[in-house]
Structure 1
């Protein structure tokens, strides 16, 4: 006696923006795990639960998919940092919470670090500057104003604001990159207080 075949599962219809975000999240993971050269559109389609043609409809080339995956994550990073920075009124607390949000974001989204490395390796000739640094520079004037308010309110040493910002960025970026190495490190969220304290007060006893 023959048994009827089980009904085929229907693909759930989702809004275009939701579908696009799901594809980008899976693309981020696959690029991070396999590298740009090995990752392929079919693998991304399978992971996202869509047909390969759907991926190509949103992203015509693998390079476009990679670029948009990186952009998608950078927009999320920027939003997380800006949301954290807007919560306190005190400018020093704004800096502290923005710094914390930055480190926590990478702790929760470690795949993004791999995409930074691949962008530099694969597209060095085609990008005048990385998307990461372009995004970080996009809010430069607002950050400069925040540091200016900190200098006006607190007894800071006379240090050029650009240098204060550069050192802060170096510490943030360095902590993130080193967290993604075989070196044994505590999670970024646990290291935050020490990193920020040393940035603020240095290493010398007052």
Structure 2
């Protein structure tokens, strides 16, 4: 006969903490299994809660997926913003912002899978993915930073927006390719080379 005192006690947590934990688990489950295969029960089991608890926070699997992606993108934005606030020189702000972006994905590779799945599963339902929506939201701020760099450093006569877009292409490509079976060093080891080539190109001056 099992004594009631031997039963595991339910841990009561603040709603926001519970929600954050479910989103972290959902990110991993979606990345490992894919959107179609992943289910709410698997997320509940991995999070150590009942399926009803998951549904209480996220009424559908699509909502759970979208909020998991949004949660990660907000963490990415905050990480990059924190890194850019530290240096005074706008060129160093660019360096540290790029570094923070790449290292975030090195620490959170599951987010790359969510990008791919979002485009595959919901492409007909939204013109812009959440990822690109976040990029667009911060566009003016980044252009302003590039303009400050141009005002403070000797740079080539390249439109600030074009300069920014090439930076975005480079970072996005580095992140996606880091998640392939191609033999590559970790982004943390490659960053200085990536940034140096971005600034100076490949030709000796």
Moved more, 162-171 or 138-147: 138-147
Match of 2:124 in 1: 125
**Deviation digits for residues 16-64 of structure 1 (CA, Å, limit 9, x no counterpart):** 0000000000000000000000000000001111100000000000000
Q: Which runs of 5+ in 1 are unaligned?
A: none
Q: Cα distance 1:153–1:4, how it changes in 2: closer, same or farther (>3 A)?
A: closer
Q: CA deviation at 1:74?
A: 0.1
Residue equivalent to 2:200:
201
1:66 is matched with 65
Q: Which moved more, 1:6-15 or 1:112-121?
A: 6-15
Deviations 1:150-204 (A, max 9, x none): 0011110000111100000000000000000000100000000000000000111
Alignment correspondent of 2:145: 146
Give the match's secondary structure for 2:168: helix
1:11 deviates by 1.5
Matching residue of 2:108: 109
The residue that corresponds to 1:174 in the other structure is: 173
Aligned-partner Cα distance in 1 for 2:62–2:4? 41
RMSD over aligned CA atoms reads 1.1
Q: Residues of 2 paired with 1:89 and 1:44: CA distance?
A: 43
Question: What is the TM-score normalised by the length of structure 2?
Answer: 0.98
Runs in 1 of length 4+ with deviation above 6 angstroms?
A: none
Q: How many residues align?
A: 205
Aligned to 1:137: 136
Give ranges in structure 2 of 5+ residues lacking alignment: none
Q: Distance in 1 between matches of 2:136 and 2:142?
A: 9
2:41 alignment partner in structure 1: 42
- Given the two structures, how large is their TM-score scaled by the length of structure 1? 0.97
Measured after TM superposition, the shift of residue 142 of structure 1 is 1.2
State the match for 1:80 in structure 2: 79
How far 1:137 sits from its partner (Å)?
1.4
Work out the CA distance in 1 between the residues paired with 2:155 and 2:10. Answer: 59
Structure 2 Cα separation of the partners of residues 122 and 100 of structure 1: 30
1:9 pairs with 2:8: yes
Report the CA distance shift for 1:198/1:56 in structure 2 as closer, same or farther (over 3 A): same
What is the CA deviation profile of residues 115-167 of structure 1, one whole-angstrom value per residue up to 9, with x for unaligned ones?
Answer: 00000000000111010010111111111111001001111000011110000
